């Protein structure tokens, strides 16, 4: 299954300028506001990322917290870029495999 990308509503303008770059890495680009309703709770965004095998780009520094409520146990958060217009960092949230070596060491 190819890795997809979900763009949070708050960074759509920033991301559109980089769309061609993203298509080199991701199979599909999905958008909050188009592919999932804008006012959906963040837990639904996390669940969609799990179901659709998506990374999430967002400027919401706490977006990852909803992944745990969606049954995802391990995520990686990377400072990915800077949204000049909104003067905010852009974060990449990626779901990691459940059987990652870190989890195995703590069971």
pLDDT tens digits along 66-87: 999 888 989 999 999 999 999 9
What is the model's pLDDT at position 102? Answer: 53
| pLDDT over threshold 90, residue 2 | no
* DSSP structure class, residue 3: -
* DSSP structure class, residue 97: P
Residues 107/78, Cβ–Cβ less than 8 Å = no
Q: What is the pTM of this model?
A: 0.86
Dihedral sign, Cα of residue 55, residue 59, residue 77, residue 98: negative
Mean pLDDT, rounded, for 23-34? 95
Name the residue among 47, 45, 104 with its Cα closest to residue 71. Answer: 47
């Amino acid at each position: 299954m190819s890795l997809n990308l979900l763009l949070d509503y708050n960074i759509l303008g920033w991301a559109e300028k980089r769309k061609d770059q993203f298509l080199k890495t991701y199979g599909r680009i999905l958008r909050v506001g188009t592919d999932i309703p804008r006012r959906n709770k963040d837990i639904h965004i996390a669940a969609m990322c799990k179901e659709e095998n998506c990374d999430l780009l967002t400027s919401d520094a706490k977006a990852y917290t909803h992944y745990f409520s969606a049954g995802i146990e391990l995520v990686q958060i990377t400072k990915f870029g800077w949204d000049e217009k909104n003067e905010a960092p852009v974060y990449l949230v990626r779901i990691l495999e459940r059987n990652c070596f870190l989890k195995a060491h703590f069971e």
